[in-house]
Structure 1
Amino acid sequence: MNNKKFVISFSGGKDSMLALHRMIKNGYTPVALLTTVKKNEGESWTHGINLDFLNRVSKSLGIDLITVECGVSEYESEFERKLLEAKEKGATICVYGDIDIEHHRQWGVDRCNSVNMNAEFPLWQENREDLVYEFIDNGYKAIIKTINLNNLGEEFLGEILTKDLIQKIKETGSDACGENGEYHTFVSDGPLFKIPINFEIESKILDENYGRLNIK
């Protein structure tokens, strides 16, 4: 019988959550969430979610958190080192929430090949918009945590992801799923959560190209 234990490259956003949801639904067992965190800053790369919230998500999901604290130069080597830690917990598969950007997929495959693990992409090449609706229809709740200001206005920051909001995102010319980096989310509740992650919006931080939501 194949080992059905996996670790998931977990951002705290909607795509990795949907990938996790599907794997569990298909009978696989998660041993850990693997999240990359900026060295000395204590928050996740890309989505900007601080460690406190990541730990709360881990506890609510009942899945251990493995953090990869790294700078840019050691990102790949540290990721692989932590994959080996997940292997010690029994994982033979690393799951990614990538949808259709080929070089992202290849990066994930390369990391797994280096440590002799299998890479799985449960959302691969499916319709982006359909995937967002599947996420919402499954009862997950996500807020928009970061945006690219070249694509979306600051009014989108802190909005709850709904089908109506997806239509508004599309009207800006942005991808419904934000797969091109237009926006990133933080998932705070849904069927896998034992309790919702409560938070307050503290402020919006805008710089030249990006807007970020500060939550506490």
Structure 2
Amino acid sequence: MNKRVALSWSGGKDSCLALDVLKGKGVDVVCLITTVPRELGRTFGHGEKMSLVKLQGKALNVPVEFIPCTFENYTSSFEAVLKKVKEDYCLDGIAFGDLYLDGHREWGEKVAEAANLEAVYPLWGKKEEALHALQTFIDSGYQATVIRIREDVLDETWLGKNLDLSFLEDIQKTEICPMGESGEYHTFVFDGPLFNKKIVLTQPEIISFETTKKLEFHQYELQEKEMIDG
């Protein structure tokens, strides 16, 4: 029997690439898990609308489980809901899309252990391999756009850029991690090989926060994908 895992899902390139790798290895990704701090009413980290993450789940045909929490009880909330999700989906493990930050992995292993689950890191490697990881994502056929940037390292011209060969070239001219592993930029994946439908994003608006800027889409919908004759 294939291993059954939940995948910690941000909606961005890292978690999508992790999903692709897991599926390629025959792992059964039975649900996506996304945290939503009550202080934000949006996803943790990316600050994305829950409705957009739900669209990704529909497009991928994988159910999304939201974990309501507060910044103060983030870990305990995650552990409590994870235990319930484990029972609901008969999980063997939980997967994360982290690349190389030890602190992130230690946290993931801690919450997995609390739920008596295996912690799975399909993308784990060295910091020096981040550029290769970005190349892998671009070559994979998935489509993602930059939706959030840290203003101390990138300006707003990066918002709305799609992850393509031009992006790969431009990111190497900066000093940041090519994959934005420290939150330098965040992305939203809207199409790709595992997507049954494409997410069309329109009416963008740039919103400023204390240290970041975000690209907010006011209109979005699922669209049937064109069939390519083989």
How does the TM-score come out when normalised to structure 1? 0.95
Superposed counterparts of 1:42-191, under 5 Å: 42-88=41-87, 89-126=89-126, 127-191=129-193
Structure 2 unmatched ranges of 5 or more: 219-230
Q: Distance in 2 between matches of 1:24 and 1:69?
A: 27
Which stretch of the first structure deviates more once superposed, 158-167 or 11-20? 158-167
- Cα distance in structure 2, aligned partners of 1:177 and 1:41: 25
* Residue deviations 1:113-155 (CA, integer Å, cap 9, x gap): 1110000101111511111111111100001011001111110
Structure-2 residue corresponding to 1:21:
20
> Gaps spanning 5+ residues in structure 1: where?
none
SS at match of 1:213: strand
CA distance in 2, matches of 1:207, 1:55: 24
Q: 2: distance between equivalents of 1:47 and 1:59?
A: 19
Deviates more, 1:157-166 or 1:61-70: 157-166
For residues 60-80 of structure 1, the C-alpha deviation after alignment (integer angstroms, 9 at most, x for no partner) is 111111001111112111111
The secondary structure found in structure 1 opposite 2:157 is helix
* 2:212 equivalent to 1:213: no
**Are the counterparts in 1 of residues 22 and 122 from structure 2 also a CA contact under 8 Å?**
yes
SS at the partner of 1:196?
strand
Report the AA paired with residue 116 of structure 2: N
Runs (4+) off by over 6 Å: none
Q: Secondary structure at the match of 1:12?
A: coil
Give CA deviations for 1:26-85 in whole Å, capped at 9, x if unaligned: 001111100011216431111121111111111111111100111111211111122112
Q: Counterpart in 1 of 2:200?
A: 198
Equivalents in 2 of 1:118, 1:208: separation in Å?
Answer: 37
Question: What letter is aligned with 2:98?
Answer: D
Q: Secondary structure at the match of 1:211?
A: strand
Q: Residues 48, 207 of structure 1: CA spacing in aligned structure 2 closer, same or farther, 3 A cutoff?
A: closer
- Counterparts of 2:192 and 2:68 in 1: how far apart (Å)? 27
User: How many aligned residue pairs are there?
Assistant: 215
- Partners of 2:53 and 2:47 in 1: CA distance: 10
Q: Deviations over 1:95-126 (max 9, x none)?
A: 00001000100000000011100001011115
Moved more, 198-207 or 104-113: 198-207
Separation in structure 2 between the aligned mates of residue 181 and residue 42 of structure 1, nearest angstrom: 20
- Secondary structure of the residue that 2:119 maps to in structure 1? strand
Letter aligned with residue 87 of structure 1: K
RMSD (Å), alpha carbons: 1.3
What is the rounded CA distance, in whole Å, between the counterparts of 1:172 and 1:74 in structure 2?
36
Greater share of residues in strand: 2
Q: TM-score, normalised by structure 2?
A: 0.90
